[in-house]
């Protein structure tokens, strides 16, 4: 009998601990998703019954008339903010109170993520942002474009030769795009020529798949890192495969040694990281471009990214930045490319118009190589990419964590944000809200024409995040997408196959925004 009482007492205490935050929003008069023990508002995602986007949309629509509502990340109360003015205030004007993401990975256990720019917090994040910011200015992008352009040209020519020789022209575009982006990242970040189309089982591709295959990560890890991050650290349970650390350590160390030993300069990310380590990487304001010249979706660097840094970075710090650059450039860009290919497939008039612009650029080159200026000068290309990112934003939802107490007053309400409390901004839902975009499900690049684009407020269009903590690599990502599609659409037209699934469905895995089953298309060769 005593044992039964003890067991029941333990169960009761665990239950009380697992639900002790569930009255958080009720006490504050905030409408909220009713949470479940331990999993909070995340049951459908954890059971893979719902995609991340579907979950965001459901919460967004459930409290349609509320500027702020509540949800639970497992047992953690999280504000869900849908009002543009409040979003702008918290994420931009009051950024000093909300500088971090909610960190759930320990530096000692997961240095690649935790020491990367996305995972860093406080002053260390500010210093790293300022250290890396000059690497993504227009002048540096011009230098890296030469490497990017070479990969795009050579790989497209290789694919065309294979198809012209009688090989199958049908591809699964997500994997196809991964090969492109992987080769560009490999050469632009690590100075390594991979050629994934010729060597599809190369080591880089294997590691890339391990780094981004969240579908194989057990549910207990997602729960553990959210609920018991310190325990997971003490148990030395890693979120990522340990082979990733070995691979990146070896690649980065070997590359750096070769560069320093032989005096090699390639104007790639490794060179820029080495400059950052020496403190010689600085902003050149004289060579900066206006945002109107480099793409509507490009984020603007805040003053935080421009201050001088007095900090010594370790090799591990640099390895973490190289990994994040690799991870984001590989997975995020290939996902955006896949959505853009899907929209061109559904909208042949848009595809034809874009090909016409590309053909005009090709003819104007007169046999010379494509230049950075020509890519940035393609207005319709930028309109198509911008609309792709509106309909399918690279970051469907972004978060911020309170780092200094802050009181928000709006309407007749008052919210006291305590340190550690975070909020979500539903970018995807805002981009699909008919209040802000007429007929939002329609793919319409004309939204971003010279006549229309100024009507879009910056907080209502945020595919790369909001405020000073937006995506530092937006210029590189946009340049990469435009360059690859220039060569693809110059050589091919996208056509549906018998296996093409329309409409698409989303993968039902936490933190992943991808098409279920990929995107099958045919590459129909064009005559130049």
Give the Cα separation of 350 and 444 in Å (integer): 9
Whole-model pTM: value is: 0.91
Per domain, the residue ranges of the chain are: 83-525
Superfamily grouping for domain 83-525: Cytochrome P450 (1.10.630.10)
Phi-psi region of 515 (alpha: psi -120 to 50; beta: other; left: phi over 0): beta
DSSP string, 133-196: GGGGSHHHHHHHHHHHHHHHHHHHHHHHHHHHTT---EEEHHHHHHHHHHHHHHHHHH-----T
402 is in an annotated binding site: no
Q: Return per-residue pLDDT of the chain as tens, 528 residues.
A: 677 778 878 877 877 877 888 899 999 999 998 888 877 776 666 666 677 788 888 889 999 899 999 998 888 899 999 999 999 999 999 999 999 998 767 777 777 788 889 889 999 999 999 888 888 888 888 888 988 999 899 888 888 888 888 788 999 999 899 888 888 888 887 777 777 777 777 777 777 766 666 555 566 666 676 667 777 777 777 766 777 777 777 777 777 777 777 777 777 777 877 777 777 777 665 555 655 567 889 988 888 877 777 788 888 888 888 888 887 777 889 999 999 999 999 999 999 999 999 999 999 999 999 999 999 999 999 999 999 999 999 888 999 999 999 999 999 899 999 999 999 999 999 999 999 999 999 999 999 999 998 888 778 999 999 999 999 999 999 999 999 999 999 999 999 999 999 998 887 765 667 788 889 999 999 986
Three-state secondary structure call for residue 417 = strand
| 41-69: burial string, b at 16+ Cβ within 10 Å, e else | bbeebbeeebbbbebbbebbeebeeeebb
Which residue intervals of 366-401 are DSSP H helices? Answer: 372-376, 379-391
Give the Cα separation of 259 and 61 in Å (integer): 54
């Amino acid at each position: 009998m005593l044992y039964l009482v003890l067991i029941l007492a333990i169960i009761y205490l665990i239950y009380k601990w697992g639900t002790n935050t569930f009255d958080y929003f009720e006490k504050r008069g905030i409408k909220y998703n009713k949470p479940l023990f331990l999993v909070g508002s995340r049951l459908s995602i954890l059971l893979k019954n719902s995609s991340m986007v579907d979950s965001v949309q459901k919460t967004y629509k459930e409290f349609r008339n509320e500027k702020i509502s509540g949800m639970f990340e497992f047992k953690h109360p999280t504000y869900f903010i849908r009002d543009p003015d409040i979003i702008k205030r918290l994420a931009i004007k009051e950024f000093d109170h909300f500088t971090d993401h909610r960190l759930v990975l320990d530096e000692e256990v997961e240095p690649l993520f935790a020491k990367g720019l996305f995972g860093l917090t406080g002053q260390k994040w500010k210093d790293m942002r300022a250290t890396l910011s000059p690497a993504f200015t227009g002048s540096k992008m011009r230098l890296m474009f030469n490497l990017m352009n070479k990969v795009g040209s050579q790989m497209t020519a290789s694919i065309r030769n294979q198809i012209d020789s009688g090989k199958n022209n049908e591809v699964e575009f997500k994997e196809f795009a991964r090969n492109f982006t992987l080769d560009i990242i490999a050469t632009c970040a690590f100075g390594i020529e991979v050629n994934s189309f010729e060597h599809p089982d190369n080591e880089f591709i294997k590691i890339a798949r391990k780094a981004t295959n969240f579908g194989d990560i057990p549910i207990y890890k997602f729960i553990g890192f959210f609920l018991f991050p310190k325990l997971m650290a003490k148990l030395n349970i890693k979120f990522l495969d340990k082979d990733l650390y070995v691979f990146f350590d070896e690649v980065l160390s070997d590359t750096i040694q070769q560069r320093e030993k032989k005096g090699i300069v390639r104007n790639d990310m490794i060179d820029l990281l080495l400059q950052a380590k020496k403190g010689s990487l600085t902003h050149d304001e004289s060579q900066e471009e206006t945002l109107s010249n480099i793409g509507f979706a490009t984020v603007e660097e805040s003053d935080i990214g421009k201050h001088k840094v007095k900090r010594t970075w370790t090799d591990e710090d640099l390895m973490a930045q190289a990994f994040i650059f690799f991870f984001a450039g590989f997975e995020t860009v290939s996902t955006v490319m896949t959505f853009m290919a899907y929209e061109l497939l559904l909208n042949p008039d848009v595809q034809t118009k874009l090909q016409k612009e590309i053909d005009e650029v090709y003819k104007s080159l007169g046999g010379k190589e494509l230049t950075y200026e020509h890519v940035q000068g393609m207005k319709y290309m930028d309109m198509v990419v911008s609309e792709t990112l509106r309909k399918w934003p690279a970051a469907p939802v972004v978060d911020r964590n309170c780092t200094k107490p802050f009181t928000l007053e709006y309407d007749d309400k008052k919210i006291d944000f305590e340190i550690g409390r975070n909020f979500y901004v539903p970018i995807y839902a805002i981009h699909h809200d008919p209040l802000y975009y007429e007929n939002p499900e329609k793919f319409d690049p004309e939204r971003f024409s010279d006549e229309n684009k100024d009507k879009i407020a910056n907080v209502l269009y945020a595919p790369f995040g909001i405020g000073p903590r937006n995506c530092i690599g937006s210029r590189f990502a946009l340049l990469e997408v435009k360059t690859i599609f220039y060569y693809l659409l110059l050589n091919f037209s996208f056509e549906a196959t018998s296996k093409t699934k329309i409409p698409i469905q989303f993968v039902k895995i936490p933190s992943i925004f991808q098409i279920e089953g990929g995107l099958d298309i045919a590459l129909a060769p064009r005559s130049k």
